[in-house]
Amino acid sequence: MLMLILPALVALIFSYISWKHSYWSRKGVDSIEPDFFFGNTTAVIKRKEHRSVVFEKFYKYFKSRGQKFGGIYDLISPVVVVTDLELIKCVLQKDFSHFMNHFGYINEEADPVSGSLFNLKGGKWKNIRAKLTPTFTTGKMKMMFQTIAEYATNLQELLEENNTPNNPVDIKKYVSMYNIDIITSCAFGIEVNSMKDPDTEFLKYFEKLMEPSLTLIIRRFISVTLPQWLLVKLKFRVTYKNIEQFFLKTVKEIVEYREKNNVYRKDFMHLLIQIKNMGETTDTGNLNSESTIKHLSINEIAAQAITFYVAGYETSSSTMAFGLMELALNIVCQERLREEILSVVRKYNNKITYDGIMEMEYLDMVVQETMRLYPIASGVSRVCNKPYPVPESNVVIETGTEVMIPLRGLHRDPEFFPDPDKFDPERFNQENKSRIRPYTYMPFGEGPRACIGLRFGKLQVKVGICAVILKYKLAINKKTQFPLKLSTSIIAGAVGGIWLDLEKISDLDL
């Protein structure tokens, strides 16, 4: 009997996958021929190319054929790849009600950590987003600035300890320590000081959370392949139980201690506790823990803190590393930036200040151009939550279909950015940036679901770059591999690392 059932089962699976891979042809949408099972993302799954590079190729393919959008398959799931700016505007802004959600599994009961702002959907997302938005105002950024500045000083000291003649530094390693300390301090209120003690328990659990193990890859694959209702019924979870328990326990202890002792600390956790107890944030140290109405649960606080941690760490580290690499390659840009930083810092009593950072126009141009060349996300992704008739076509995007807008494709499109592979901060000077067409440059996304923490992320990147440029002249070391190849991790890095030679130039006390 088994000899009869097995071939029939194989044939059934083969037929099902083939049928799934005929989706776009059945809808009359221009598509790229998929590989069996892997679809059009074979290079990503086999870790041959970074996802952003693969989707850039899709963008170029459909645009070269004059298509406003086209269809590809992520494994067996159909994905719409958009190239037309007007359609991008519809997806992200004009017709946002059709594309409100991200593509991701969420089950707050069985997998509490999955209930992050990034994963939340519909009304729950709108409610939490409204509560969290005030935590990223100018006033709140100023409140947390001193923490960022202190770690920038630690970064300078760390580089000095590890910078010896004829000994290049892998700059990504050091800026990662800087960023992880900032995020841990601001998100959880914990001083892990990875620059001096990289073996703390907190960091070990964070590494486990981020580790791309085979088991985790399989879990994530299941979470995007099986129907959501079935996963919820099965109480499926993506996060490891022990990791979840550690972070939930940590957050609970922090919240209870602060409430009991009325601890006021200028960080994201303090603001979350205020929202939990009062439904809003204030500029005071008041936690109002006596309130019987709780606007956020401990699980919700933990989920948001972890998301802040995950989203802010690797993204900022990669942007900083790529920015410093480009400055090492472009000495004229580096010298101009150093002159601006020195001028502003001297104005503020030889200190890096929030107001000073906001005055540094060329620094902003450098960071903007870095994010154009090296967008952190592979693309801006949305999921259709109700059928959407594509304007000026006979195609209807069905509920549950992912829509992907490839950022690297847009950011390196010569139609929008002449000589697109060149590092040129002048693209973002006051005159030129007004000419950039809407929806061609979106490092943090656009519309109501744009990244909520973009101002904080840019701030920590700017302060870190300032700290390095003030103290060192940068040059590329031969250990850096060119042409640059992106790693296949979730957030793209440089294969082989970014190795720089540092020449100390100042004893300015910051």
Mean pLDDT over each residue of the chain, to the nearest integer: 90
Distance, in Å, from the CA atom of 322 to the CA atom of 316, rounded to the nearest integer, reads 10
Distance, in Å, from the CA atom of 57 to the CA atom of 43, rounded to the nearest integer, reads 12
DSSP three-state, residue 195: coil
Question: Are 255 and 271 within 8 A, CB to CB?
Answer: no
pLDDT for res 291: 63
Q: Which amino acid is at 353?
A: T
> Is the pLDDT reported for residue 125 higher than 80?
yes
Was 451 annotated as part of a binding site? yes
Paired with 381 in beta bridges are 404
Question: Are 171 and 324 within 8 A, CB to CB?
Answer: yes
115 phi, psi to nearest 5 deg: -80, 45
Q: What value does the CA radius of gyration of the chain take, rounded to a whole number of Å?
A: 24
pLDDT in tens, 324-353: 999 999 999 999 999 999 999 999 999 999
Question: Are 497 and 172 within 8 A, CB to CB?
Answer: yes
> Is the pLDDT reported for residue 510 higher than 60?
no
pLDDT for res 308: 83
**Mean pLDDT calculated for residue range 365-389:** 96
Q: Which band of pLDDT confidence, cut at 50, 70 and 90, is reported for residue 217? A: low
Q: Which amino acid is at 196?
A: K
Give me the residue spans of the domains in the chain: 1-105+378-411
> Is the pLDDT reported for residue 290 higher than 70?
no
Cα–Cα distances in angstroms (integers) from residue 199 to residues 175, 246, 403, 478, in the given order: 17, 16, 40, 31
pLDDT in tens, 426-440: 999 999 999 999 999
Question: Are 385 and 101 within 8 A, CB to CB?
Answer: yes
According to CATH, what is the number of the domain 1-105+378-411? 3.30.43.20
The sheet that has 499-504: what strands, in order across it? Answer: 169-170, 499-504, 472-476
Q: List all residues 6 or more positions away from 507 whose beta carbon is below 8 Å from its beta carbon.
A: none
pLDDT for res 508: 52
Of 463 and 208, more confident? 463
DSSP state of 240: -
> Is the pLDDT reported for residue 82 higher than 90?
yes
Distance, in Å, from the CA atom of 49 to the CA atom of 53, rounded to the nearest integer, reads 7
**Mean pLDDT calculated for residue range 22-28:** 97
Asked, as a colleague might, if the bond just before 483 is cis with ω within 30 of 0, I would say yes
Look up the pTM and report it: 0.93
> Is the pLDDT reported for residue 490 higher than 50?
yes
pLDDT in tens, 143-202: 999 999 999 999 999 999 988 878 899 999 999 999 989 988 988 888 887 877 777 777
Angle of CA points 49, 51, 57, to nearest 5°: 80
Q: Which amino acid is at 316?
A: S
**Mean pLDDT calculated for residue range 221-245:** 81
pLDDT for res 70: 98
CB atoms within 10 A of CB 213: 10
pLDDT for res 509: 44
